[in-house]
Chain A
Amino acid sequence: MSAADPSAAAPAAAADPDGPDAVRLTWNAWPRSKVEASRCVVPLAATVSPARVPDRSTAAPPPLPYLPLRCKPPCSALLNPFARVDFAAKIWICPLCFSRNHFPPHYAAISESNVPAELFPQCSTVEYIVGGAPGAAGAPPPPVFLFVIDTCVIEEELEYVKMAMRKAVALLPEHALVGLVTFGTQVHLHELGFSDLSKIYVFRGTKEISKEQILDQLGLTGAGRSGFPKIPQQPGGPQVNGMHPAATAGVNRFLLPVSECECTLSTLLDELQSDQWPVEAGNRAMRCTGVALSVAAGLLGACMPGTGARIIALLGGPCTEGPGMIVSKDLSEPVRSHKDLDKDAAPHFQKAVKFYDGLAKQLVSQGHVLDVFASALDQVGLAEMKVAIERTGGLVVLSESFGHSVFKDSFKRIFEGGEQSLGLSFNGTIEINCSKDIKVQGIIGPCTSLEKKGAVCADTVVGQGNTTAWKMCGLDRNTSLTVFFDVSPSERSSQPGHQNPHLYIQFVTSYQHPEGQMRIRVTTICRKWVDGSTNTEELVEGFDQETAAVVLARYISLKMEMEEEFDATRWLDRSLIRLCSRFGDYRKDDPSSFSLHSNFSLFPQFMFNLRRSQFVQVFNNSPDETAYFRMLLNRESVTNSVAMIQPSLISFSFDSPPSPVFLDVASIAADRILLLDAYFSVVIFHGMTIAQWRNMGYQNQPEHEQFAQLLQSPHEEAQMIIKGRFPVPRLVVCDQHGSQARFLLAKLNPSATYNSAHDVAPGSDIIFTDDVSFQVFCEHLQRLAVQS
């Protein structure tokens, strides 16, 4: 086996690899028994993008304006194209449980020639619009944005924040409700609906404050402290479905339509100052991020329960007081590192995680999202907040400064509509129905278990498990979940002759569409069972190595977080060896005879890069960065996640059109421009000669127009990548031997190191590392895989 041809991956990515269903499985053919499944090494798992908008090329069926039919409980699966329909008897048979269901009266017109959309074979994924139909009560709820802004930052940063905020406010739809919380040493909740003067509720930063206390103190409990001065109780104000009076009052006071509070907001932003509390020498600023988020959550809980709303937190540093504190204000105490976490030497960590866990629960029960935009050179505590962000399906962006394009452009993206829109949706729940014998172990990804036990719950739990329904407070087009399955055939089903050759899995997602209405999306997939242990060929045919790599990366990340003393590298190596032993072609104890099916050919390389990636080698990063990488890994599509694990490298040169090259130091050449897409960063790397020419200004001479084009094209390519991605990746432009070149070198296979410098081609490069190269890795793998 040799290194897989990098060009092989490219065509796969070009088409829509997720298909119309946006579901990818590690194995498209499933073994029937538990034992067989475990011998497959790579778990049976599916990645699902429940709100994915298919490419325009594939004509998606329009959403259906009526309610779906459900199978009788306990199955409750929705009618789908795989159902067998008896048109004469007006009966459909559920493919999952084989129950017979009568069509209701309004399906009376059904016939072979008159089939409802959900039964069309191409409609394995279909959406229903529920509510919001003409005649339904009330307009769809407006989107709600509650901004939480850190003011413990220097003037310059605050100016950037203000700029970003002004842009955001301008982009918001008129009817969107906006609220503002600023915080530093204390939390300031701005009452935007008070016109006489700027009115601010101040909460102390040091004290954990319960939701009830917040409501009571804001006078939002309805009883007792009602009646605040001068609340304009306009009946024409934003009335949200089902809001009780206190909530309405709160909405009128703290959350206002952009059209009404634009002026107030802009005045507020103009006058917003850095935190006024003094910072003593040798101390960090007092920053009460935890309380600020509690207050924001409490406010939304009172005003907008059950309605989609986002808390958008802009953080400029670590929380140093109150709940959620990650480091003391004393500068002599450094912010925790992975080493500290490993040695249990991070005194605030567990407490903070517990706090955010509670906050996550609260937000989930309210159906609200926490987005975090952390822009600081220091860590801000993402590692601790991860639970709250991930459980609510929030967005997260980590950058160095509010002035950095990673923040600026990403922040803008969330408010943009149209083609660029992220398709931010709210209040999603996903339910999974499957054929008998299939159990769900759990989900890794931005969701929370709704703790709804059911027959499909497996005994072993991975991620959010022990339930048949999950909550996704926030989801968008890219949101992807990884569902882990278990095969546990019952006595009866293992009886031969009774077996159905197909397995069915149905994902039912209901969510609040960006346009406001509630939708239900049903995706039903059908796959094959593979009988017996001998039939590896079918299994091999059904293997999706990209999905498998991503699933393993997610799985191992989870294990690293959950299990102490977990040796990820070793675990990966063993798994890979087992996999190769099981599915490779070889003669025992003859490494040279080893070869892999093309469905597996890329897999060892993925594993090699995963071992070297930020997901496994966490010690090179801060806990915040690790948390950030993992959150994105868990929520992105398979294609994007693969890029995180194994960056793509494209070469631009005069000799050939832009083409993928090996992610290897050998790909560096003096007359090449390389474009590395490592997902979080995009690196444009000019070979030495190219850099020299450029520095001499050839590109500006008419006779060297071609050179100018050559220089330009990687930039264009990079912009394409950047445009379609959230968070916006960091763009690094560097030259060979420049200091920034490390962004590229770190990702390359060290096939040439200082140890092997003698046989390096001129113009190429070497990497100063002791890491093994992919070639060495493969040699070992082959040797171990064929051992008996």
Chain B
Amino acid sequence: MQVSRAAGPPFAGPPGSGPAPSSAIRAPQGPPPGARPFPGSPPPPSQPSPPFARPGAPLQQQSPPQFGGPPPAMASQPQRPGFGGLPSGPPPQVQRAPFGGPPSGVSPQAPPFGGPPAAVASRSAPLSGPPAAASYQPAPPAAVPQRSPFGGPPAAASAQPPPIGGGPFTAAQAPPFGGPPGSVPQTAPTGGLRPFGGPSAPSQQVQFGAPPPFGGPSAVQPGAQPPPFGASQSQAPPFMGPAGGNVPPSFAPPMWQGQGAVPGGMQPSMRMPVMPGGMPPNALGQGMSHASTPTMPYSPHAQVSTPSKIDPNQIPRPVQETSVIIFETRQGGQAAIPPAASSEFIVKDTGNCNPRLMRCTMNQIPCTGDLLTTSGMPLALLVQPFALPHPSEEPIQLVDFGEMGPIRCSRCKAYINPFMKFIDQGKHFICNLCGFSNDTPREYFCHLGPDGRRRDADERPELCRGSVEFVATKEFLVRDPMPAVYFFLIDVSMNAVNTGATAAACSAISQALSDLPEGPRTMVGIGTFDSAIHFYSLRRAQQQPLMLIVPDIQDVYTPLQTDLILPISECHENLEQLLESIPVMFENNRIADSAFGAAMKASFLAMKSTGGKLLVFQSVLPSVGIGSLSAREAEGRSNTSTGDKEAHKLLQPVDKTLKTMAQEFAEYQVCVDVFLSTQSYVDIASISVVPNTTGGRVYYYYPFSALSDPAKLYNDLRWNISRPQGFEAVMRVRCSQGLQVQDYFGNFCKRVPTDIDLPVIDSDKAIMVTFKHDDKLQENSECAFQCALLYTTVFGQRRIRVINLSLSCTNMLSSLFRYADLETQFTYVVKQAANGIPSLPLSQVRDQVTSTCINILQSYRKYCASVSSSGQLILPEALKLLPLYTLALTKSVGLRNDGRLDDRSYWVSIVSSVSVLLAIPLVFPRMIALHDLTSRDDDDSLVPSPLTLNSENIHDDGIYLLENGEDGFIYVGNSVNPLTLEQIFGVSSLAGLPNQLVLEPFDNELSRKVNEVVNEIRRQRCSYLRLRLCKKGDPSGDFFRSLLVEDKAPGGLSYVEFLVHVHRQIQSKMT
């Protein structure tokens, strides 16, 4: 089902507005029209002009993923409080309820987008201020009234009547939906979506009747009426305003647990899921009759003419999908093909899991290993157990079996799921994974209906939903569920203090404290270190904190067993005071050494009894104590005789010390996140082992700037602690007989072959699971995958999240290609490449990547498209972008020759846990033009459609933003209109551009637009982009150009050349 994009964002109008009239009904609190950001381009609401909709064959374009359908970021107004509409924020009356919803009274407190309670930065300091601070920024008069905190530009609100779609998204000019106008009744989208966002569904919003497992700071009581999109439970958006401080928060990743979807509500507008490529499923593959002929320039496969004739404009490129897809996971008893990960879709779980949680590289499973080998494609699952759902999606339901515990297969211990078959009037059930026939426990018995299903199947989530959570019983507990423990560890060595990293860390922590889960089970502790480790005892009774120094950094210990980690409620004030005084206390510190490893170990010892999150803020190369490192980079450079051959050794951890340490951490459920704000080499290759083994990650701020980076540091930290997550988790993936799990990839610790231990698992982390055949699968049968994740919520409940996916088996190679999932496969390739980087020379890794691509394409060419002319490069439709992505991968930071070691190691560490959604942009960035944001008129999304990544699109009078989910590079041509510079950067000439960019909002249309776009991207990526300025003629400009993957580069081919290369390779293999 496709819904127009405009309708997609579940912005419902105010409760009273009901079904969306197409006419411009102004939201009661609508801002005055004058506030419209895009004057002149308000699209007539009733006249959708779908710019992108392709008649007939609606192509889905790559659209920015919208998880939560939250309204895209908004406004650039300086005074807007963050997302979260703070009470202190803008006057409530201007707030449009984002999703329609909530009574206006509610919205201020419970921002629909998970608005952070904290406001965004209002201080002039780069970090956003705490809520209270938000309000003090003087608001430009014009801006205040009309800025809806969550919503799109006010103009949209007023102009766009559809209360439900009036998404800020489309705000100004976008037609309410991008769907093909003809095919969908105008009202359909709105009608269809309403339930998701509509206020009518409040009852659905309460999850399980229990406190939200990962409640946001607002922690609304279950019984309370949360704002429709679960704002109450949503996490505070971590990303607050840009560094400028007065900008509204850029985005709030929506609730991870979508709420409020009313399944029935979507029926009317339900449509067929659409293939990522935009073609009806049967349009692909040979020998299949086409139900409809796609009006693609190439068909049935993507064809590229012979090298000499390649038309650069005809070669496959990603197209942006603008409409929202409604996706039912199973239809007609079969797995439906999930939409592209990068598209915006709303999932209705009808037996298979939400593809956000788990998706496979191929949507039909080859019956034999030979077939898989022939295809050249990988068979792997990408599991992201806490992936943020779309706000319109039904939350995962919690099932409590009481004392009995969840029903499991007595042989393979698989959990009950919709694919277990009940037989003998329901007395037995057959496990879909191992085939064993189990007795149905008497308490669980139910008669079967005429269709052979249990009569209660539809009432029981575990029998009708692909993903479900079970309350863990005692047998799953080795101890009481652990409290939520957060230990902050800050480098206070000379460099850290001098560069401002210490102050930034303290400030970030101080602000983030209020985002920690509330409740008595939330505990915090803090330490600092230079060449010794300093702990602080914050006992409330004491007037001043006690500083306990552990000077032995070779053989560390914890100085106290109690009092170092206390419930936040007991020490919040003391902690804030301490954080304020730490930078002052150490301002004259002359100790340059930093005992990173020892400090971690000591903190670990302090946390050992409970486990928890250890957040380390490190600024220099760890030089002393256990786990100290040396400047290998310099050694590597000076020792050129070893040359490139051994270069990759510098990407391996220097020794096993940190690995051993990390394994011990993991064993005691301690997860380490490392925030590296540095200006020099810190040996990420070695350091990253710790977070990667304990379920954490590395954050990297290089070169650290006290001006521009604190905002990102704060937002990263905030998101880190507030995003949905689970503690002390154990995960196992089971699969049907015939397959077996080959390996797991990701950030975890593995002690037994079958399970992986995750001290913490959060919404951003993905785990890749590869499979191999150990037997044949029956054609026409289904192959099942079940991921079971046992974890503890931040509120101390032990649960098992079970994610099921059942896919058909096939013997047909063409089906494999047809149902291939490009993005997932490519993510697999990226991860494999990252895996190889530390152990192989780079050129070899690139060759492997390229040959993976060639092998797949050649297999297709050989077995599925052999009739075509040999002069043609035939690409399987589903994988037509594989060459482009592959090319991009070979030019990525990780695989390019000219990167810094740390950059490459960082890339490798990021890739290890990256989700499908973010893996693609990491390699294949998105570039948009910023200078003409105000003048574009044909787009319905906040973020303009991306430009092709080649230099032909870069003009000297333009300003471009290229982002990969981590960094945003703003390129400024050298003949940019000074006025534009003034508007965006507040400088009048190129020369006046600062090196360290803080994107400040200025009171003009363009600046607002730019900030809006940046904030929207931040929201989409769940990451506060690190913005860097690139100027033409500068090294930074050259670097920017090196990211244009379609260009010919010194070490790499252009896209066309690469296609030619691929084609030649295939041809040579064929003959």
Contact with B along A223-239 (1 / 0, CB 8 A): 01111111000000000
B-contacting residues, A181-224, CB 8 Å: 186, 188, 194, 196-204, 207, 209, 213, 217-219, 224
| CB–CB A202/B550 < 8 A | yes
Cβ-neighbour of B561 out of A207, A219, A226, A276 (below 8 A) = A276
Q: Are B545 and A204 within 8 A (Cβ)?
A: no
Partner of A276 from the list B544, B551, B560 (CB cut-off 8 Å) is B560
**In the complex, are the beta carbons of A198 and B546 less than 8 A apart?**
yes
Q: Is the CB of B544 within 8 A of A198?
A: yes
Residues of B close to A186: CB separation below 8 A: 557, 559
Partner of B591, one of A207, A225, A230: A225
- Is B588 at the interface (CB under 8 A from chain A)? yes
Closest chain-A Cβ to B532's Cβ sits at a distance in Å of 7
- Chain B residue contacts of A217, Cβ below 8 A: 532, 551-553
- Once the chains bind, are B547 and A228 in contact (CB under 8 Å)? no
Contacting residues, chain A, for B561 (C-beta < 8 A) = 276-278
- Provided the pairs A198-B544, A276-B561 are in contact, do residues A209 and B552 lie with their beta carbons within 8 angstroms? yes
Interface string of B89-117 (1 = CB under 8 A from A): 00000000000000000000000000000
A201 touches B549 (CB 8 A): yes
> When chains A and B are docked, how far (Å) is the Cα of A611 from the Cα of B8?
104
Distance between Cα atoms of A279 and B242 in the complex (Å) = 51
Interface assignment of B555: CB less than 8 Å from any CB of chain A = yes
Q: Tell whether B563 is near chain A: CB-to-CB under 8 Å.
A: yes
Q: Which of B557, B563, B584, B587 has the most chain A CB atoms closer than 10 A to its own CB?
A: B557
Question: Counting CB contacts under 8 A, is B987 at the interface?
Answer: no
Contacting residue for B531 out of A194, A199, A225, CB 8 A = A225
A267 / chain B contacts, CB cutoff of 8 Å: 543
Contact B590 A203 (CB under 8 A): no
Q: Measured between alpha carbons, how far is A298 from B923 in the docked complex, in Å? A: 57
Within 8 Å of chain B (Cβ to Cβ): is A271?
A: yes
User: CA separation between A186 and B550, bound complex, in Å?
Assistant: 11
Contact B544 A200 (CB under 8 A): no
Contact B547 A198 (CB under 8 A): yes
CB pair A207–B555 under 8 Å, yes or no, is yes
Complex: how many Å from CA A204 to CA B560?
A: 10
B590 and A226 contact, CB distance less than 8 A: yes
A182 to chain B, nearest CB (A): 12
CB 8 Å contact bits of B544-586 with A (1 = contact, 0 = none): 1111111111010101111100000000000000100100111
A202 touches B588 (CB 8 A): no
B585 near A202 with CB under 8 A, answer no
Say if the beta carbon of B593 comes within 8 Å of chain A.
yes
Chain A min CB distance to B577 (Å): 10
- CB atoms of A201 and B551 under 8 A apart: yes
Distance A194 CA – B581 CA, assembled complex (angstroms): 13
Kindly state whether residue B897 has any CB partner on chain A within 8 Å: no
Q: Is B547 in contact with A204, judged by CB distance below 8 angstroms?
A: no
* Contact between A199 and B547, CB atoms less than 8 A apart: yes
A196 and B546 in contact, given A276-B561, A276-B563, A277-B561 (Cβ under 8 angstroms):
no
In the complex, B542 has a CB within 8 A of chain A:
yes
Q: Which of B551, B586, B590, B591 lies at the interface centre, i.e. has the most chain A CB atoms within 10 A of its CB?
A: B551
- Once bound together, how far apart are the Cα atoms of A156 and B593, in whole Å? 43
Does B657 belong to the interface (CB within 8 Å)?
Answer: no
- What separation, in Å, do the CA atoms of A196 and B545 have in the docked complex? 9
A228, B591: Cβ atoms under 8 Å?
Answer: yes
B989 proximal to A (CB < 8 A) = no
Q: Are B552 and A213 in contact (CB under 8 A)?
A: yes
Residues in B with CB closer than 8 Å to A224 are 593
B562 touches A200 (CB 8 A): no
User: What per-residue 1/0 map shows which CB atoms of A486-529 lie under 8 Å from chain B?
Assistant: 00000000000000000000000000000000000000000000
Contact A271 B542 (CB under 8 A): yes
Closest residue of chain A to B535 (Cβ to Cβ) is A202
- Nearest CB on A from B624, distance (A): 9
B830-874: CB near A (< 8 Å → 1, else 0) gives 000000000000000000000000000000000000000000000
Taking CB atoms and an 8 Å cut-off, the chain A residues in 37-84 that contact chain B are none
Distance in angstroms between the alpha carbons of A230 and B560 in the assembled complex = 25
Is B552 a contact of A204 with CB atoms below 8 Å?
yes
Q: Per-position contact with A for B576-609: 1 when CB-CB < 8 Å, else 0?
A: 0010010011111111010000000000000000
CB contacts (< 8 Å) of B543 on chain A: these are: 267
Given contacts A225-B591, A227-B589, contact A203 B551 (CB under 8 A): yes
Instruction: Say whether B588 contacts A197, CB under 8 Å.
Output: no
* Contact string against B for A residues 272-300, beta-carbon threshold 8 Å, 1 for contact and 0 otherwise: 00001110000000000000000000000
Cα(A200)–Cα(B585), bound, Å? 15
Which residue of the partner chain B has the closest CB to A196? B585
A186, B558: Cα distance in complex, Å: 10
CB-nearest residue of chain A to B557: A204
Q: Would B581 and A196 count as touching, CB distance under 8 A?
A: yes
Chain A nearest CB, measured from B652 CB (Å): 30
A 276-335 contacts with B by CB, 8 A: 276-278
B549, closest chain A residue (CB)? A201
Contact between chains at B547 and A200 (CB < 8 Å): yes
Q: Which residues of A contact B593 (CB under 8 A)?
A: 224-225
Contact in complex: B588, A229 (CB < 8 Å): yes
The smallest C-beta distance from B606 to any residue of chain A, in angstroms, reads: 12
Which residues of chain B come closer than 8 Å to A225, judged between CB atoms?
Answer: 531, 591, 593
Bound complex: CA A196 to CA B117 (Å): 33
- Cα distance A194–B588 when bound, in Å? 13
Alpha-carbon separation in the docked complex, A267 to B588 (Å): 26
Contacts of A277 in B (CB 8 A): 560-561
Is there an interface contact between B552 and A230, defined as CB atoms closer than 8 Å? no
Which chain A positions have C-beta within 8 A of B586?
229
- In Å, the complex CA distance between A198 and B591 comes to 20
Known: A218-B551, A225-B531. A276 touches B562 (CB 8 A): yes
**Chain B residues, Cβ within 8 Å of A204:** 552, 555, 557
B1057 smallest CB distance to A (angstroms):
56
Assess whether B551 is in contact with A197, with CB atoms less than 8 Å apart.
no
Return chain B residues, CB-CB under 8 Å to A228: 589-591
Residue interface mask B1011-1044, A partner, CB < 8 A = 1: 0000000000000000000000000000000000
Q: How far apart sit A439 and B531, CA to CA, in the bound complex (Å)?
A: 55
Contact at A202–B544, with CB atoms within 8 Å?
no
Q: Which residues of A contact B549 (CB under 8 A)?
A: 199-202
Which residues of B are found within 8 Å of A227, using beta-carbon distances? 494, 588-591
What are 16 of the A-B contact pairs (CB < 8 Å)?
A186-B557, A196-B581, A197-B536, A197-B545, A197-B546, A198-B547, A199-B547, A200-B559, A201-B532, A202-B549, A202-B557, A204-B557, A219-B531, A227-B494, A267-B543, A278-B561
Given A200-B547, A202-B551, A207-B552, list of 20 further CB < 8 A pairs?
A: A186-B559, A197-B581, A198-B542, A199-B549, A200-B549, A200-B559, A201-B532, A202-B549, A202-B550, A204-B552, A204-B555, A219-B531, A224-B593, A228-B589, A229-B492, A229-B589, A230-B585, A267-B543, A276-B563, A277-B560
Show the binding face of A for B, using Cβ within 8 Å: 186, 188, 194, 196-204, 207, 209, 213, 217-219, 224-230, 267, 271, 276-278
Q: Which residues of B contact A (CB under 8 A)?
A: 492, 494, 531-532, 535-536, 542-553, 555, 557, 559-563, 578, 581, 584-591, 593
**Which are the 10 A-B pairs with shortest beta-carbon distances?**
A227-B590, A217-B551, A202-B559, A199-B547, A204-B557, A201-B549, A197-B544, A198-B546, A229-B589, A229-B586
